[in-house]
Structure formats: C-alpha cells, structure tokens
Amino acid sequence: SYELTQPPSVSVSPGQTASITCSGDKLGDKYACWYQQKPGQSPVLVIYQDSKRPSGIPERFSGSNSGNTATLTISGTQAMDEADYYCQAWDSGGGVFGGGTKLTVL
Amino acid sequence: EVQLVESGGGLVQPGGSLRLSCAASGFTFSSYWMHWVRQAPGKGLVWVSRINSDGSSTSYADSVKGRFTISRDNAKNTLYLQMNSLRAEDTAVYYCARVGAMVHAFDIWGQGTMVTVSS
C-alpha cells in the first residue's frame, strides 16, 4: 500500500519560514494536498493540487511537489499557524494521509 | 452555509455494531463523492471509505473491509457508515468529508463523532 512520510515535528520562530515535507514513491506524479488541524477542531484544507490555495487561506501558505517530495511552506509564520499539518494524496481509489507534522511556533 | 453534521457515535462493546450518519446541507449533495476519515485519540488522520455520487461504487481501507459499509441516501442528503464487528482499534473520531469536484481534495469536513469500542 502507498505510504506518505512526514517529520513528526517542525519548529519555527515567528516571522520566519516553515517548511514541512511529505515523502512518497513518485509522489510528484500525483496531486498532493495539505490540511491544517488545530486542537479539538476538524481539519481544514490549506493547499490542493500541489500548490493551489482555497478561498480564505492566507497567501503565506504555499506548496510544491516534485520527484518523491511535496513541501508545504509557510512564509512569515504567525502564532496562529501553530497546528498539526497532514499531507494527502490519492491511490487505488482511496485517500492516503501522511502521519502528520506538529508545527511549533516559538 | 455548506455544512456536514455527523451523528451516531457512542460507546459500544467489542463485536458490536453502530451506524454513523452525516447530514449534508448548503450544497447539492448528490453531485459529490463522499468519504469517511477517522482519527484515533492523539493519532493522525486515516482514510476509511468512499462512495461515489450516485452510490454505485464504494471503496474501503483494508482495515475495515468486510466489516464497514458506506452508503448514502441522496433524497435525504445523508451519508452513512454501518460499522459491524467493532474492535478496540476502531476507537476514533469519525469525520465525514466532501471531495470538491474542482479541487479533488477534502474541502468540507464535519465536526466529527466519537466512537469508543470498549467493554
């Protein structure tokens, strides 16, 4: 079965750039998307089709996907961006999620 | 307002059954593929099942295949998940989620319903 691998945690200082990676076999041949989940809340889509932002998502969120790695980048990270982030792709009729990355803003 | 509202969660003994419901509003439910995603306490998101827009095609994660059944009633704008032979490892918050036709991603999520399998 297809697997996506994320680092368990990433730390960033306020105002700096945070990068969260997601690795999978030939992931660049698929579309990757990213979800933000804050404690006690449902996930929110922040990036779809590798690099597109849904309406209402700040411009500081961006994405890329090439080779075996997709990357979520948050520029000018704010305290409100502290959350768990999950990558996701499609495989064999079902969804596949990465294990999630806890982003700490400190 | 586009909304998904899950219900039906609760405490059930191992080997028992439960049916989850997800009521959709604010969009044309019959036009969208729908999914169930679960999250065990303190763990990550796991895809469970999906159904196409008219209910003629379904797919399941290996961990629930043969035990769970996804279905929908487009006249009632409702998605279902029938869960049988429940195990402790099925304990999780269960979310229903819509796959947006243009975004091909989970663009709308419900608030989730908690299922606890324990004796």
pLDDT at B8 over 90: yes
Residue of chain A with shortest Cα separation from B95: A42
At residue B93, the pLDDT reads: 98
Neighbours of A89 (CB within 10 A): 22
pLDDT at A15 over 80: yes
Going by pLDDT thresholds of 50, 70 and 90, the confidence category of residue B80 is: very high
pLDDT at A96 over 80: yes
Under an 8 A CB cutoff, do A49 and B44 touch? no
Residue range A34-39: mean pLDDT, rounded = 98
Q: Please report residues of A whose CB lies closer than 8 A to that of B111.
A: 42
Helices (H) and strands (E) in chain A, counts: 0, 9
Residue range B43-53: mean pLDDT, rounded = 97
Nearest by CB to B45, which of A48, A93, A97?
Answer: A97
Nearest to B48 by CA among B39, B37, B58: B37
Nearest to A86 by CA among A56, A44, A54, A51: A44
At residue B102, the pLDDT reads: 86
Q: Beta A101-105 vs A9-12: how paired, if at all?
A: parallel
Distance CA B99, CA B91 (A): 24
Residue range A35-44: mean pLDDT, rounded = 98
Under an 8 A CB cutoff, do B44 and A31 touch? no
pLDDT at A93 over 80: no
Q: Beta B68-73 vs A33-37: how paired, if at all?
A: unpaired
Distance CA A37, CA A58 (A): 15
Residue range A40-50: mean pLDDT, rounded = 98
Distance CA B71, CA B57 (A): 10
Biggest alpha carbon–alpha carbon distance for chain B:
44
Measured CB to CB, residues of chain A less than 8 Å from chain B are 1, 31, 33, 35, 37, 42-45, 48-49, 52, 54, 84, 86, 88, 90, 93-100
pLDDT at B30 over 80: yes
Distance from CA of A99 to the nearest CA of B (A): 6
Give the mean pLDDT of chain B: 97
pLDDT at A92 over 90: no
Beta carbons of A29 and A15 less than 8 angstroms apart: no
